[in-house]
Amino acid sequence: MTAAIEDAAHAVAPASVMGLLPARPRLLGLGEPAHGEDVLLRLRNDLFRRLVEQEGYRTITIESDCMRGLVVDDYVTSGSGVLDDVMERGFSHGWFNVSAANRELVRWMRAHNDGRPAAEHVRFAGFDGPLEITDAASPRQALTALHACLADRVDADLLPCTAETLDRLLGADDRWSDPAAMTDPSRSVGRTPDARRLRLLADDLVALLDARTPDLIAASRDGWHRARLYGRTATGLLRYHFWMADPSPGRMARLLDLRASMMAANLLALAERGPTLVHAHNGHLQRGKSTMRMGGRPLEWWGAGAIVSARLGEGYAFLATALGAIGHRGVEAPPPDTVEGLLYALPGDRYVVDARRLAAVLGEAPPAPRVSPWFGYSPLDPDQVAGHDGIVFVKDVRPG
């Protein structure tokens, strides 16, 4: 078996990745099984850089706030801002902005674009909603930005409301982002009369945006793409807040669905713009259902990758990343009867494996699932191997 698996393993390089696929996908996803490990992010940086240079990818998007990502995109395309400030304001989730590898990625993108025409620029995007584990952002930024975009292009009497009305209905931002609302639906403002009216106004603004598409594209296609992002984010956040106020047992499952839908909508919009490289947790990008336990209850949902794959078919491809040992996290060498254990036995420190060939070698009796002693690492699900296009394996992960 080891020899057959070794035959399916190749160097982590663009040619090896593309050799697994029938054609260049519009969206090529690289997952990670643990956040915060710069070794994995530097592997991503190296692979993505070569895919940009050799395969013509023109956008890099990561699992970070889509609104904050605009700050990074402005910097890498125009040099707008100072790198320290861009790293502070351009990333979400608490660990992305302090990552040295993410800083290196942004610095490389800026250097790559410097002096090139706009058509050859590599763009940056976040594709997550403005959501954290503990709270969801106020819809103010997205909703008022959408209103401002339309106010610049259409007659005032076509707008469903004034900017002042939006400001009054939105109120203080901290009432939207109250962390207590994540566990206590009664603390959410998502079903107040003001929030319900905001949902209707947001829907009317998006409808007006759609109706004025020719004018907006003629003025600036980039501006149109950005306005659509504002519309998706405003309506998505208002919907998310509405369901945060739901006291029913299905509340958390609904919130997971909504987050995945927001991610998928952003990915599909990026695919419209051109070939895009995607980086996020394996659970967000895999084709099979994602699962987790929360409050002792099992939850499952279709992640962004599953939604996008269903829509794009061969236009979407996904490489999962698997790890051997993470010694500084207490994750030792994997048991030999797991997928990771079989890959750990191969020579070499890192490689990309043809996942479907691997699944065929494993046969109808998949290996045992690996159990991680560290909550931050999610081992491969043996039942999902055949649904991946490839597996990037890193034998040993060390700090730094």
Question: 260-295: per-residue pLDDT in tens?
Answer: 999 999 999 999 999 999 999 999 999 999 998 877
206-215: average pLDDT: 97
CATH number of 1-135+253-397: 3.40.50
DSSP tag of 225: H
pLDDT of 132: 85
Whether the per-residue pLDDT at 297 is higher than 90: the answer is: no
Joined together, the tokens standing for residue 86 give 């861009």
Q: Which of 150, 131, 158, 128 is nearest to 238 (CA)?
A: 131
Kindly indicate the confidence band of residue 94, based on its pLDDT and cuts at 50, 70 and 90.
Answer: confident
Mean per-residue pLDDT over the chain, rounded:
96
Q: Is-contact 201 208, C-beta < 8 A?
A: no
Whole-angstrom distance, CA of residue 13 vs CA of residue 275: 18
The full set of domain ranges for the chain reads: 1-135+253-397, 136-252
Whole-angstrom distance, CA of residue 186 vs CA of residue 301: 25
Q: Quote the percentage of the chain above a pLDDT of 70.
A: 100
pLDDT of 295: 73
219-234: average pLDDT: 97
Per residue in 165-174, is it b (16+ CB within 10 Å) or e — as a string?
A: ebeebbeeee
Whole-angstrom distance, CA of residue 185 vs CA of residue 64: 25
DSSP tag of 136: B
Whole-angstrom distance, CA of residue 377 vs CA of residue 332: 12
Q: Is-contact 234 202, C-beta < 8 A?
A: yes
> Is 0.95 topped by the overall pTM?
yes
Whether the per-residue pLDDT at 363 is higher than 90: the answer is: no
CA dihedral (169, 172, 177, 181) positive or negative: negative
Kindly indicate the confidence band of residue 95, based on its pLDDT and cuts at 50, 70 and 90.
Answer: confident
Whether the per-residue pLDDT at 201 is higher than 80: the answer is: yes
Whole-angstrom distance, CA of residue 214 vs CA of residue 325: 54
pLDDT of 229: 98
Strands (E), 70-177: 123-128
Per residue in 315-331, is it b (16+ CB within 10 Å) or e — as a string?
A: bbbbbbbbbbbbeebeb
| CA distance readout (Å), 276 to 52, 156, 213, 271, 294 | 9, 37, 23, 6, 32
**DSSP strand pairing (276-281 vs 316-325):** unpaired
Q: How many CA atoms lie within 13 A of 246 on its CB side?
A: 14
**DSSP strand pairing (27-32 vs 276-281):** parallel
Whole-angstrom distance, CA of residue 288 vs CA of residue 302: 7
Kindly indicate the confidence band of residue 236, based on its pLDDT and cuts at 50, 70 and 90.
Answer: very high
Name the 3-class secondary structure at 379: coil
Q: What is the pLDDT of residues 134-154, one digit of tens each?
A: 899 999 999 999 999 999 999
Whole-angstrom distance, CA of residue 388 vs CA of residue 320: 7
| CA distance readout (Å), 86 to 39, 83, 197, 315, 383 | 22, 5, 34, 32, 40
Whether the per-residue pLDDT at 97 is higher than 90: the answer is: no
Which of 121-125, 229-233, 288-292 has the weakest average pLDDT? 288-292
Whether the per-residue pLDDT at 365 is higher than 80: the answer is: no
Q: Is-contact 56 87, C-beta < 8 A?
A: no
pLDDT of 266: 98
Q: What is the pLDDT of residues 371-382, one digit of tens each?
A: 999 999 999 999
pLDDT of 1: 66
Which of 89-98, 170-179, 243-252, 372-381 has the weakest average pLDDT? 89-98
Kindly indicate the confidence band of residue 133, based on its pLDDT and cuts at 50, 70 and 90.
Answer: confident
